[in-house]
Amino acid sequence: MAAILEQMQERLELLQRTRSIAIVGMSKNSSRSSHFVATYLGGSTDFEVYYVNPRETEIMGKPVYASLADLPVVPDMVDVFRRVDDLPAVTDEAIAVGATSVWFQLGLEHPEAAATAVAAGLDVVQNCCLKIEHARFRGGLHTAGFNTGVIDSRRARIV
């Protein structure tokens, strides 16, 4: 239990120091998880959110960039929605542009890519949903991942 709480604390601190997020593998398909996360981040947070997908030019009225190197800013975090085999290349690109963290979404784990990122000084989160974690820290989800049932007209401001 102590290890789980420590991991949660590390994720909270990571989110608190993050200002900009690049979503790599952003999809225009509204039923894809990247679309859900982007909608949440764009509407429920103060993060600057950028979309990366070489096959698109605009999604939800926002520009889409072909690569991390094409972004107008250096993102603090790179949130990855790509195949596991693509994680080393995305990690290398995140390191090259100067990102400070990589977040591999649910179902995505790659020990070698994670080790490369850590060796380069990046924070790494694997197999975890950014939207779920952010909502949990704002009071919208119980630690176990379900809705708290709390209804409040005030916005919780933790992250």
Structure tokens at 159: 């992250």
For residue 18, the one-letter residue type is T
Q: How far, in Å, CA of 135 to CA of 80, rounded?
A: 18
**Of 131, 126, 127, 159, residue with least CA distance to 145:** 131
Confirm if 84 and 108 have CB atoms less than 8 A apart.
Answer: yes
Q: How far, in Å, CA of 138 to CA of 44, rounded?
A: 10
DSSP code, position 46: -
Q: How far, in Å, CA of 34 to CA of 98, rounded?
A: 22
pLDDT confidence of residue 4: 84
Q: How far, in Å, CA of 105 to CA of 81, rounded?
A: 6
pLDDT confidence of residue 145: 45
18: left (phi over 0), alpha (psi -120 to 50) or beta: beta
**pTM of the complete model:** 0.86
pLDDT confidence of residue 57: 96
The residues of the chain scoring below 50 in pLDDT are 142-148, 151, 153
